[in-house]
Amino acid sequence: MSEFSPCLDCGACCSTFRVSFYWGESDSAPGGVVPDRLIEQVTPHMSCMQGTNQPQPRCVALMGDVGSAVRCSIYENRSSTCREFPFHGENGLESPDCQRARALHGLPPLPSNPRGPGQAPPVAA
Ligand code: SF4
Ligand code: SF4
């Protein structure tokens, strides 16, 4: 996560999408790190975070209130899907899915460069 992170008081994407990934990322597989107890199987080769495969998704690993203070309880062991999901403006890139998730939870859109015109955009750590 970058030094500037709108995610710490958001969490909307963790409560909007099915968070799926290759089953081999589970800690029940060699080299996997995502806790298997928090995963459910989606297809023979894909798993997802429990709680995200339902009409009103919310990842079981998400702590706190969406749009307020939130924390991922498995941050160091989250899946590649989570690691690679950019917030809008991260590295100067657009992230329509981030903006859509925020809008669905009544949160304002993020600016494309939260540091302001002429400043370098935040980068992922
Ligand atoms: S919706 Fe965007 S700002 Fe909110 S937690 Fe996800 S990536 Fe971060
Ligand atoms: S594992 Fe963490 S980052 Fe990934 S969806 Fe769940 S709460 Fe969000």
All structural domains of the chain with their residue ranges: 6-104
Residue 47 has pLDDT above 60, yes or no: yes
Closest-CA residue, ligand 2 atom 4, reads 82
Q: Are 19 and 97 in contact (CB under 8 A)?
A: no
- State the pTM of this model: 0.91
Residue 125 has pLDDT above 70, yes or no: no
Quickly tell me which residue has 């750590």 as its tokens. Answer: 125
How many distinct helices (H) and strands (E) make up the chain?
Answer: 2, 5
Q: Is the CB of 38 under 6 A from ligand 1?
A: no
Q: Taking CB atoms and a 6 Å cutoff, what residues make up the pocket around ligand 2?
A: 14, 19, 49, 59, 61-62, 72, 74, 78, 82
For the stretch 94-113, pLDDT in tens is 999 999 999 999 999 999 87
